[in-house]
Amino acid sequence: MNKKNLISILSILLIFFTQCTQVDQTNREEKNIDQKTITTVENALIEKYPNADQEMARRGVQHAASLWRSSDGTTEEFKAFCMKHFISDAEEKKIVFKKIEKNFESLWGHQNKMVLDLNENMHLDVEPYHKIDAMFASYSPGAHFAEDFYGNKIAFVIALNYPPYSLDEKNELGKKWSSLEWAYARLGDVFTARVPAELSKEINNVATQGEIYIADYNIYMGHLINQNDEKIFPEDMVLLSHWNLRDEIKSNYANQDNGLEKQEMIYEVMKHIIHQTIPDIVINSGEYDWNPITNKVYQQGEEITFNPEPNTRYLQILNNFKALKATDEYYPEYNTFIKRSFSGSKEIPQIEVEKLFDEYLSSPVAKEVGKLISKRLGRDLKPFDIWYDGFKARSSISEEELNKITRKKYPTAKAMEEDLDNILMKLGWPKERADFIASKVTVDPARGSGHAWGAQMKSENAHLRTRVGEKGMDYKGYNIAIHEFGHNVEQTISLHDVEHYMLNGVPNTAFTEALAFMFQARDLQLLGITNDNPDKEYLKTLDNYWSVFEIMGVSMVDMKVWKWLYNNPNATEAELKDATVDIAKDVWNKYYAPVYGIKDEPILAIYSHMINSPLYLANYSFGHLIDFQIENYIEGKNFSEEVDRIWSIGRLTPEIWMQKAVGEDISIEPMIKATEEAVKRPNRF
């Protein structure tokens, strides 16, 4: 499973586009509309429009007043504005809404296209990278979007007539809302805070620096040596941290020759990255040989001295924290990035997320699955077995065999693009529908691990990025590509098939992850490789359970690190490193040590998302849970028809979306119960 860094960036960019504005720093908190003025305006509107929705009038005036500053006008000018621009007629309100969303689609769509173009050489393997590329990538075309819209007063027209609702209100009132009422509520979410543009620019800048850091964090595996001075990886193998390193661990469960040795060596590499003891000269370089077990570096057979990486990994996290924290004071309700990320973006409070994850990770069934994996491996569990891949059908097929198939089938990114319609037809879509969805997706060769980048207007395409080597697309790249294509299918359906543009998308990125997992689980089927194992459904359940068991622990580390940062806002990168390692070990000891019989392992801190996709990781956990529930629901039903129906629901809250999709809330119970049933059948597999 690979990170969706660009989806995360787009979520952040949407916040930039809609909530940032330049405000004089000396007057930034000066709100000149008092409660007396608000009450006066409310009463005047109700008197002028006796048939209007009084609750909506009061809500709109209060919200507009919360955003109004002295630079926007006097109290008298505020009164005059509200009296002039309040829309009492339902039909007029609908007409105005349609005009707004039509223009927002154009604005956000073209801004998205500009960001895509400016980041092209950062993300695509098309031409050599130059530092000027990063400078363009750090530019945000939408940084002054809200500044302009407060300035021309359109933001206040929206605030007055389409005010926002709290999460609790959406979950309660939204059960009876029409799609138009939901669209009004989502328009209300657009202008909820006034953040200075320079702060948004800084967030974008540090995010770009994190992207650069991660995109160039390759390990030249052909230059790793073991204790016998042997090179056990292919000479031309270059793996990106952490995704490709993790996937190489997964692929070696089918390697009966030296798979375990390779896995153990990769884990040593990971620990050096976490502890920042990795030699700086071996990062993204094949000029030296490195023994990660002894942490010695050689050049032409002679040992040389080196400097370890200078805590750069943790400096990136710290820079993200400082940039995001600087905007806290501008969000009255969600006044920390943790709150904005969970109650805001995910629309699931962080405390509820942590409670749910704790319940899952603490389930006694974990020990039973661990015992089963140990039995299948014929050895005690090792820390990297959090990525045990032996329940999948492909676990019995060597990586080399799969590489031959995928490289022949997809020698170039263009070859995959030309095959997208066939992939969809294999999954059950009629040709006309498959052709339409495929026509809305462009496949590009990725510089990094791969990602999906959705369009923000119907006239543009979504982009699928994955690595394509000189020999063609290897299985890792193909597996990532199928995952990303699942995102693209969601992005296309949820943009083109929703009733209102303001409802395009999904509740949060966990819901696009769910469809990506559903596609990824069918990758061998799409290659014509069938699984005739009568226990395949039980094995699939065990595989899903173990994947969630791993990623929820990683998510817990991510959340706890951010809590630590808020409690220690002046920490240095060295202090953050020590805290992160301690947190990773604490989470390991609480949930994993009882299963593995090993304590104080730092492996949960390896994920690169922590550097360039802050607090994103929880989306994967929810994505797996949603994936499992939907797969159970659609069993025996037409896959393509259900995907079209479910992912065209629109951007409701997670709670209401799930009820409409499968008739139940997000829950750990279906997966736990299914896993308990599966582990009762160990003699069968």
Say yes or no: 137 and 246 in one domain.
Answer: no
Share of the chain above pLDDT 70, in %: 94
Say yes or no: 28 and 119 in one domain.
Answer: yes
Say yes or no: 163 and 61 in one domain.
Answer: yes
Q: Which long-range contacts (CB under 8 A, 24 or more apart) does 669-675 make?
A: 670/628, 670/629, 670/632, 671/541, 671/544, 671/545, 671/548, 671/624, 671/625, 671/628, 672/360, 672/363, 672/365, 672/545, 674/541, 674/545, 674/628, 674/632, 675/365, 675/369, 675/541, 675/542, 675/545
Say yes or no: 9 and 57 in one domain.
Answer: yes
Q: What is the mean pLDDT of residues 198-223?
A: 91
Whether 480 is in a domain gets the answer yes
The answer to whether 80 and 160 have CB atoms below 8 angstroms apart is no
CB atoms < 10 A from the CB of 377, how many?
Answer: 15
Phi, psi of 189 (to 5 degrees): -70, -15
Alpha carbon distance 617, 612 (integer Å): 11
Share of the chain above pLDDT 90, in %: 81
Residue 452 pLDDT greater than 60, yes or no: yes
Alpha carbon distance 511, 111 (integer Å): 24
pLDDT at 396: 67
Whether 519 is in a domain gets the answer no
Say yes or no: 11 and 113 in one domain.
Answer: yes
The answer to whether 104 and 122 have CB atoms below 8 angstroms apart is no
Residue 436 pLDDT greater than 50, yes or no: yes
Question: 224's torsion region: left (phi>0), alpha (psi -120 to 50) or beta?
Answer: beta
Q: What is the mean pLDDT of residues 358-374?
A: 97
Say yes or no: 169 and 92 in one domain.
Answer: yes
Token readout for 649 is: 């629901």
Least confident stretch, 144-148, 374-378, 424-428:
144-148
Say yes or no: 378 and 360 in one domain.
Answer: yes
Q: What is the mean pLDDT of residues 577-586?
A: 98
CB atoms < 10 A from the CB of 520, how many?
Answer: 20
Say yes or no: 232 and 161 in one domain.
Answer: no
How far is Cα of residue 507 from the mean position of the Cα atoms in its chain? Answer: 12
- Per-residue CA distances from 649 to 232, 498, 512 (Å): 50, 7, 12
Whether 514 is in a domain gets the answer no
The answer to whether 548 and 369 have CB atoms below 8 angstroms apart is no
Residue 16 pLDDT greater than 70, yes or no: no
Indicate the burial class of 160 (C-beta count within 10 angstroms; 0-12, 13-18, 19 or more).
buried
Whether 321 is in a domain gets the answer no
pLDDT at 504: 97
Q: What is the mean pLDDT of residues 71-93?
A: 96
Say yes or no: 103 and 60 in one domain.
Answer: yes
**Across the chain, which distance is largest between two alpha carbons, in Å?**
88
pLDDT at 125: 80
Residue 376 pLDDT greater than 80, yes or no: yes
Indicate the burial class of 599 (C-beta count within 10 angstroms; 0-12, 13-18, 19 or more).
exposed
Question: 295's torsion region: left (phi>0), alpha (psi -120 to 50) or beta?
Answer: left
Alpha carbon distance 507, 659 (integer Å): 12
Q: Total structural domains in the chain?
A: 4
Q: Model-level pTM?
A: 0.84
Residue 4 pLDDT greater than 60, yes or no: no
Say yes or no: 477 and 553 in one domain.
Answer: no
Whether 448 is in a domain gets the answer yes
Residue 124 pLDDT greater than 60, yes or no: yes
Domain closes at, from 180, 213, 246: 213
Residue 496, preceding bond cis, omega within 30 degrees?
A: no
Domain closes at, from 460, 485, 503: 503
pLDDT level of residue 146 (50, 70, 90 thresholds): confident
pLDDT level of residue 316 (50, 70, 90 thresholds): very high
Residue 360 pLDDT greater than 50, yes or no: yes
CB atoms < 10 A from the CB of 532, how many?
Answer: 6
pLDDT level of residue 208 (50, 70, 90 thresholds): confident
pLDDT level of residue 488 (50, 70, 90 thresholds): very high
Domain closes at, from 159, 182, 213: 213
Whether 115 is in a domain gets the answer yes
Question: If we measure between CA atoms, which residue out of 489, 464, 494 comes closest to residue 479?
Answer: 464
Q: What is the CA radius of gyration of the chain?
A: 26
Average pLDDT taken over every residue of the chain: 92
Say yes or no: 540 and 458 in one domain.
Answer: no
pLDDT at 394: 66
The answer to whether 513 and 596 have CB atoms below 8 angstroms apart is no
Say yes or no: 304 and 373 in one domain.
Answer: no
pLDDT digit string (tens) for 249-276? 999 998 989 999 999 999 999 999 999 9
pLDDT digit string (tens) for 273-291? 999 999 999 999 999 999 9
Residue 32 pLDDT greater than 80, yes or no: yes
Q: What is the mean pLDDT of residues 128-147?
A: 84
Alpha carbon distance 452, 116 (integer Å): 11
Whether 328 is in a domain gets the answer no
Structural domain harbouring 134: 5-213
Whether 317 is in a domain gets the answer no
